[in-house]
Structure 1
Amino acid sequence: MLGFKVLIVDDEKNVCEFLVEFLKFKGFEADVANTGEEAIKKIREEKYDLVLLDLVMPGINGIDVLKFLNDNKINIPVIMVSGVRDEKVIKNTIELGAKDYIPKPIDLEKLENSIFFHVRKNQFGSGNRCQQ
């Protein structure tokens, strides 16, 4: 899996640091954005194979980032990672294109399985790497 690049979008720096180390240990490259605005800027400038996206952030939130991806036809698998457990919110993120929703505290086995599944599916399936 070396060479696959994941963008972590979360305003909690400790969560970002933990996920960076976890992803590096699993053989991924990891980049961090601490705001939705920063995430959009990085997505415009870089190619990512997957995004781990928090829902609740100041300014542009996770829903807005999903809408940006849809509006701009950017095909990157997104896994929501959030402490919000409201079923309507979860359903809304899936309807907006998120591939999975993993609640905090993070079940690392579930996260790892979801990351590998969606990166492989995007690489070999109908999707392709971030096309802009």
Structure 2
Amino acid sequence: MQYSKKILVVDDQPEVANQIASYVRALGYMPIVVNSVEEAISNFDPNLYGLIISDVIMPGKNGFDLVRFIKNEHPQIPVALISGYFDKQMMDLQRVFNIDQIYRKPVFLKTVKKIIESALAAG
């Protein structure tokens, strides 16, 4: 991920999305917040984003739908999913969907820093 690229934050709960965005800003990056997968996909520009951080469970399309879109169209862009529901099935889905990173909610500054550092190391 290049430093000049933005980080797309996707969560249907605006307060959660805005909190993650504040962590991203505190770490020196520019977040763009959307509140649905549909909005993320319809406005997606692969030249703009260097990383996507998305919730899993949302109304309509979910985080796995977003991963499928990104990995099919732009596999070079890392995706980190966050979820309040984390179990063995979630880990199995991580392998099936080729998800770069997956973390349990709530997400704090330390976790967002780890997500960004992992994306930078991979890119």
TM-score by length of 2: 0.87
Write the distance in 2 (CA, Å) between the matches of 1:64 and 1:108: 26
Q: Which has the higher contact order (CA 8 A, sep 6+)?
A: 2
**How far off is 1:92 after superposition?**
0.6
Q: Does 1:25 align with 2:59?
A: no
Aligned partner letter, 1:43: F
Indicate conservation of the 8 Å contact 1:102/1:111, yes or no: no
Q: Corresponding residue for 2:106?
A: 105
Write the distance in 2 (CA, Å) between the matches of 1:70 and 1:116: 20
Write the distance in 1 (CA, Å) between the matches of 2:69 and 2:13: 22
Residue range with higher mean Cα deviation, 60-69 or 37-46: 37-46
Q: Corresponding residue for 1:79?
A: 80
Q: Corresponding residue for 2:71?
A: 70
Indicate conservation of the 8 Å contact 1:8/1:30, yes or no: yes
Write the distance in 2 (CA, Å) between the matches of 1:81 and 1:107: 11
1:79-101 CA-to-partner distances (Å, cap 9, x unmatched) read 11111112112321343121111
State the identity as a percent: 27
Gaps of 5+ in 1: 123-132
**How far off is 1:17 after superposition?**
1.0
Q: Corresponding residue for 1:54?
A: 55
**How far off is 1:115 after superposition?**
1.3
SS for the counterpart of 1:65 is: helix
TM-score by length of 1: 0.82
SS for the counterpart of 2:43 is: helix
Indicate conservation of the 8 Å contact 2:46/2:74, yes or no: no
Indicate conservation of the 8 Å contact 1:36/1:60, yes or no: yes
Write the distance in 1 (CA, Å) between the matches of 2:94 and 2:122: 19
Indicate conservation of the 8 Å contact 2:67/2:99, yes or no: yes
Indicate conservation of the 8 Å contact 1:77/1:119, yes or no: no
